[in-house]
Amino acid sequence: EAGVAQSPRYKIIEKRQSVAFWCNPISGHATLYWYQQILGQGPKLLIQFQNNGVVDDSQLPKDRFSAERLKGVDSTLKIQPAKLEDSAVYLCASSLAQDRGTPYEQYFGPGTRLTVT
Amino acid sequence: DQQVKQNSPSLSVQEGRISILNCDYTNSMFDYFLWYKKYPAEGPTFLISISSIKDKNEDGRFTVFLNKSAKHLSLHIVPSQPGDSAVYFCAAENQGGKLIFGQGTELSVKP
């Protein structure tokens, strides 16, 4: 089966500009996640969708970050305006909506490396 | 507040020997613990998991041990191979399926 697709793979922008990332999850996966991974750190969850709805966006900086998942499939993450500290790899992941008793095994895309100058 | 910690940023092991990667956590409410492996320019890939009610799970060369009283888990790789060289992330999952990752440990297996 095809994996999680992300684009672009790399993006360089100046601070105060805006940027958008796109993610196409594995077919049939109801749950979609966006993570931010700063160099030297583990991925940090920004937002979690279950189909069209937001399950958790507690760590999303809502003054500058927004995300949507249209029709419960593809998703976009936007930053506007970008700051220097937003330089990171942005990872998208998806998982099946599983019954309790098994872990939510998440499948990750290759990520988008964002550099803000 | 770092709920999941991997205190060793790097580990170097000789091929054929055992690799032991460690992880500590602070929250007793996690349901599962997972290990992910990451190669450069790729996303993390799932490796192995363990339920919070178990103390050991084995899959081929990979074994994860969970010590609940110490809030500590470890990943053992035996025997280590050069292809195991990667960054390994420990992650804890709560009831909502949210993963909290550690900082990662970079494993280097030398031929």
- Residue B90 banded pLDDT, cuts 50, 70, 90: very high
Is pLDDT of B95 > 90?
no
Highest mean pLDDT among A2-6, A8-12, A100-104: A8-12
Among A5-9, A75-79, A100-104, B50-54, the minimum mean pLDDT is found in A100-104
Is pLDDT of B71 > 70?
yes
Distance CA B47, CA B14 (A): 21
Residue of chain B whose Cα is closest to the Cα of A94: B97
Is pLDDT of A100 > 80?
no
Residues of A85-105 as b/e, b for ≥16 C-beta within 10 angstroms? Answer: ebbbbbbbbbbeeeeeeebbb
- Residue A117 banded pLDDT, cuts 50, 70, 90: very high
Q: Which of A31, A41, A111 sits opposite B97 (nearest CB)?
A: A31
**Residue type for A97, please?**
A
- CB within 8 Å: B97 and A104: yes
Chain B residues at the A interface, defined by Cβ less than 8 Å, are 4, 6, 9, 31-32, 34, 36, 41-46, 49, 51, 89, 91, 93, 95-104
Is pLDDT of A92 > 80?
yes
Instruction: Look at strands A88-95 and A31-37 and give their pairing.
Output: antiparallel
pLDDT, position A36: 98
Is pLDDT of A94 > 80?
yes
The candidate with the shortest Cα–Cα distance to B95, out of A63, A99, A20, A68, is A99
Distance CA B37, CA B46 (A): 7
Distance CA B102, CA B105 (A): 9
SS3 call for A108 = strand
- Per cent of chain B over pLDDT 70 is 99
- Give the number of C-alpha atoms closer than 13 A to the C-alpha of residue B74, restricted to the C-beta side: 11
pLDDT tens column, B29-69: 898 999 999 999 899 999 999 999 999 999 999 999 999 99
Residue of chain B whose Cα is closest to the Cα of A109: B43
pLDDT tens column, B1-30: 679 999 999 999 999 999 999 999 998 889
pLDDT tens column, A33-61: 999 999 999 999 999 998 889 999 999 99
Chain A positions in Cβ-Cβ contact with residue B95 (cut-off 8 Å)? 100
Is pLDDT of A99 > 70?
no
pLDDT, position B53: 93
Is pLDDT of A72 > 90?
no
- CB within 8 Å: B49 and A103: yes
Residue of chain A whose Cα is closest to the Cα of B49: A103
pLDDT, position A98: 61
Chain A positions in Cβ-Cβ contact with residue B104 (cut-off 8 Å)? 41-42
- CB within 8 Å: A106 and B49: no
- CB within 8 Å: B41 and A110: yes
